[in-house]
Amino acid sequence: CGVVVYHTPAPIGMALVERDRQLVLIRRTAPPLQGYWAPPAGHVELGESVTEATIRETREETGLEIILGELVNVYSHGDADVLIVAYRARATGGEPKAGDDASEVGLFAPGHIPVQPPPDESNGTALDRWFYGVIQEATAPWREAPTGRI
């Protein structure tokens, strides 16, 4: 019929939000990594840009208004059906309140990010394990306590 179909990863926007010198994380209510703490993130919808989706998803999941900063990284994996675009962000308004896809919102000081075991073959999918690695890498700057400088 001449129609070409491409199977491409769906874009996800992720925000590494700082509020009062703390990192904002949500406890996820849906896969991947259901029950884990993670930065707010979600799918880009038709008619919006990645940055617009990142701001919208953060508002829906945390109740916070944000301004996006620099691009942290673009995460992709050959076996994943998503591509994650991660940005630094700063909260500018709103009050932390769990919303869409979040059971809790937490603010964590440097060195106090929750320690979570990696999912393995018995309790997670390949997507869970990849997403866990993305979260570990993206939140690495907040995993160590500051040394005299904030």
Q: Which of 119, 92, 95, 94 is nearest to 38 (CA)?
A: 119
104 is catalytic: yes
Contacts (Cβ under 8 Å, ≥6 apart) of 83: 9, 10, 11, 12, 74, 75, 76
- The alpha-carbon radius of gyration of the chain (Å, integer) is 16
Query: From the candidates 65, 104, 137, 144, which is the catalytic residue?
Result: 104
CA distances (Å), origin 71, targets 55, 114, 148: 14, 24, 26
Residues identified as active-site: 104
